[in-house]
Amino acid sequence: MLKIENLHAEIDGKEILKGLNLEVGAGEVHAIMGPNGAGKSTLAYVLGGRPGYEVTQGSVTFMGEDLLDMDPHERAAAGMFLGFQYPVEIPGVSNVQFLREALNSQRRTRGEEPLSGGDFLKLAKDKAGLLKLDMEMLKRFVNVGFSGGEKKRAEMVHMGILDPKLAVLDETDSGLDIDALKTVGEGINTIMRSADKGVLLITHYQRLLDYVKPDHVHVLADGRIVKSGGPELAHQLESEGYEAVAA
Amino acid sequence: MTALPTIRDEEWRYADFDAVGRFAPEAIDSWREIEVAAGETFRECVVIDGSDPFLSRIRITVGKGGRAELFAVNACADYARLDVQVSLAEGAHFEFGGVTIGGGDATREFVTRTDHSAPDATSNQVVRSVHWGQATGNFLGRIDVGREGQRTDAAQDFKGLLLEKGASANAKPELEIFADDVKCAHGAAIGQMDEMASYYMASRGIAPDVARRLLIRAFIADALAALDDEDEAERLFEAALQVLERKGA
Ligand SMILES: Nc1ncnc2c1ncn2[C@@H]1O[C@H](COP(=O)(O)OP(=O)(O)O)[C@@H](O)[C@H]1O
Ligand SMILES: [Mg+2]
């Protein structure tokens, strides 16, 4: 469903991604691991179309379409979800308002009918329950005053409500205590583990992978995938370190 | 009859004098008088959305323990000025919420003068300005605290949101304080659209024009937060946000 070929991208004229290749098929969970500064977040933002992240070479195909040709909101409507390493605070806009607008915007873009207020609230309540996030939190402004863990759980509530085809999750496990990690891991499985969906899990640590078992593990270093393998690669990275494994 | 104001008059310093010159001198001299009796509440919501230069001057006298509330959206296509002078009796309150919004090259302004010469009176003024093109938004707020104005609590808060380079916003508080037990708070900040918030919205599927509308609504909401009438608040929001539609992308 996602095919990245020879992707080069730069920020402010500095090349960060230097010829990255990766393919994610439907029903698969891929983990991307790598040292700080390797370009993991850059990859996520390039896939999400963040302004300022310029693709200079290569191609990305998503569900048979040219992803790089779509605006960020069109990518979302096409089924791409980006989980942010640092979720953004939006004072003055409640989660409920934000998410309802997001879901209905996506539906409009896809030519579907908008969801009614009642149906939306039912859906939101259901997904908040799945992530053990108090519904009251969703009435508050987007991420404002949320703890690190609450922000990450809220992101997974977004994902549950928007029901994407592909989730690119950038260090969703950082800032989570052990109980929250389990909740989030199970949430990802419930929402995304299905034959027609894919997950690209960017993480620093093995621990999230204990809950969300990857089918493939890749090491990203200096803007390229330098090694790929099965789940055992994550364990090897954990015990031996990136340098030894990627060398 | 007084002479036309000039740029040397403090409370006209940011005015558009081409437009001011087109006002009849009578208009500049004419004040609408409003008396709020002791213990009573007066509320008015104003939408200024015409295309000719606009001037409205209001003098409000609030009796003991009374309350005057004024909410205004200034979205005029030409120079528009709302002048408010308020005189507060003991324990009275003045609430002002103002939004200036628009593009073109118009100046849109609120000028208030609040007289706290009696004890225990309070005032709260919140102004939000959203501009693009070559437009300007101003808030000049003068507060006079007389010798008897003990325990005055006066707050002014201004924020400007400039969507394009050529736009500007000015806030000028002016305090004259002759009492010693007084609280006067004032804040002013000018910023641009939060790019990361816009992108976060886009990443969730919200189209750019919808995202902009949501963010601007959130920004101006502070100015209408004290308006305890949902229908009126919605009318003012609509009047303000409708101007955005004319802006284009
Ligand atoms: N806005 C930016 N301007 C310039 N360089 C940046 C910017 N953002 C990130 N970088 C650089 O890009 C490289 C990759 O960063 P990032 O993708 O965040 O790495 P990771 O997520 O793997 O830790 C780093 O060297 C970082 O300093
Ligand atoms: Mg990162």
Measure the CA angle with vertex B227, ends B223 and B232; round to 5°: 105
pLDDT at A65 over 90: yes
Segment holding A60, helix H or strand E: strand A53-62
- Distance between start and end Cα atoms, chain A: 30
Mean pLDDT of A67-75: 97
**Pairing between strand A2-11 and A14-24?**
antiparallel
pLDDT tens figures, A75-86: 999 999 999 999
* CA–CA separation, B118 and B105 (whole Å): 41
Round to whole Å and give the CA distance between A27 and A194.
6
**Structural domain total, chain A:** 1
Closest partner residue to B204 (CB to CB) among A89, A91, A162 is A162
Give the closest residue to B195 by CA, choosing from A72, A172, A175, A102. A72
Predicted ipTM of the assembly? 0.96
Instruction: Answer yes or no: do B201 and A87 touch at CB < 8 A.
Output: no
**By CB neighbour count within 10 A (0-12 exposed, 13-18 middle, 19+ buried), where does A240 fall?**
exposed
Q: Report the DSSP beta bridge partners of residue A219.
A: A33, A227
Q: Are A87 and A143 in contact (CB under 8 A)?
A: yes
**A244 burial class (0-12, 13-18, 19+ CB within 10 angstroms)?**
exposed
- Taken in order B238, B241, B247, B249, the sign of the CA dihedral is negative
Q: Are A96 and A139 spatial neighbours (Cβ–Cβ below 8 Å)?
A: yes
A40 lines ligand 1 (CB under 6 A): yes
Domain that residue A195 falls in: 2-246
The enclosing H or E element of A220 equals strand A216-221
Q: What percent of chain A has pLDDT over 70?
A: 100
Whole-angstrom distance, CA of residue A199 vs CA of residue A26: 9
**Tens-place pLDDT, residues A1-51:** 999 999 999 999 999 999 999 999 999 999 999 999 999 999 999 999 999
Q: How far apart are CA B151 and CA B93, in angstroms?
A: 13
* Confidence check: pLDDT of A224 > 70: yes
Query: Token pair of A135, please?
Result: 């519904």
Domain coordinates of chain B in residue numbers? Answer: 10-192
- Yes or no: say if B134 and B106 are a contact pair by the CB < 8 Å rule: no
User: Using a 6 Å cutoff on CB, does residue A50 contact ligand 1?
Assistant: no
B92, B82 contact by CB (below 8 A): no
What pLDDT was estimated at residue B42? Answer: 98
Percentage with pLDDT > 90 across chain A: 90
- pLDDT at position B2 is 61
Whether the pTM exceeds 0.95: the reply is no
Beta bridge partners, A170, equal A202
Taken in order A70, A76, A79, A81, is the CA torsion positive or negative? positive
CA-angle at A221, arms to A219 and A222, nearest 5°: 160
CATH number of the domain encompassing residue A132: 3.40.50.300
Nearest 5°: the CA angle A161, A100, A177 is 45
CA of B154 to the centre of ligand 1 (A): 46
Q: What is the mean pLDDT of chain A?
A: 95
State the pLDDT at residue B1.
47
Please provide the average confidence, as pLDDT, over all residues in chain B.
95
Per DSSP (E only), the strands in chain B are 32-36, 41-48, 54-62, 67-74, 80-88, 93-102, 107-116, 122-131, 136-145, 152-162, 168-177, 182-191
Question: Nearest residue CA, atom 6 of ligand 1?
Answer: A11
For chains A and B, CB pairs below 8 A equal 77
Judge: B205–A103 Cβ closer than 8 Å, yes or no: yes
Q: What is the mean pLDDT of residues A52-72?
A: 97
How far is B97 from A111, CA to CA, in rounded Å?
A: 40
C-alpha closest to that of A127 among A88, A87, A155? A155
User: Using the beta-carbon criterion (under 8 Å), do B207 and A105 form an inter-chain contact?
Assistant: yes
Which of A42, A47, A168, A170 gets mutated to test ligand 1 (max ligand atoms within 8 A of its CB)?
A: A42
A window 29-68, beta carbon within 8 A of B: 48-51
- Min Cα–Cα distance to chain A from B103, Å: 23
Indicate whether residue A167 lines ligand 1 (CB < 6 A): no
Q: Ligand 2 center to residue A75 CA distance, Å? A: 21
Give me the pLDDT at residue A247, please.
65
Closest CA–CA distance from residue A211 to any residue of chain B (Å)? 25
What is the reported pLDDT for B69?
98
Residues 208-247 of B with CB under 8 A from A: 208, 210, 214-215, 217-219, 221-222
End-to-end CA distance of chain B: give it in Å, rounded. 47
Cα–Cα–Cα angle for A20, A26, A28, rounded to 5 degrees:
70
Mind listing the pLDDT tens digit for each residue in B126-141? 999 999 999 999 999 9
Q: Which two tokens stand for residue A189?
A: 């499985």
Amino acid, single-letter form, for residue A63: M
Residue A149, ligand 1, Cβ within 6 A: no
For the CA atoms of B105, B106, B107, B108, the dihedral, rounded to the nearest 10 degrees, stands at: -140
* Ligand 1 nearest atom to the CA of residue A52, by list position: 1
pLDDT value at position B44?
Answer: 98
Tokens (6 digits) for B235: 């009318």
For residue B131, the CA-to-ligand 1 centroid distance in Å is: 33
Q: Is the CB of A37 under 6 A from ligand 1?
A: yes
Q: List all residues 6 or more positions away from A240 whose beta carbon is below 8 Å from its beta carbon.
A: none
- Dist. CA B194–CA B203, nearest whole Å: 14
In which residue ranges of chain B is pLDDT below 50?
1
Q: Which of B47, B171, B24, B193 is nearest to B109 (CA)?
A: B171
Q: How many CB atoms lie within 10 A of CB B225?
A: 12
Tens of pLDDT, residues B156-211:
999 999 999 999 999 999 999 999 999 999 999 999 999 999 999 999 999 999 99
| The two three-digit tokens of residue B212, written as one number | 């902009």
Q: Is the pLDDT of residue A139 over 90?
A: yes
A222 vs A8, A174, A243, B187, CA distance in Å? 12, 21, 12, 46
**Chain B residue numbers touching A105 (CB-CB < 8 A):** 205-207, 210
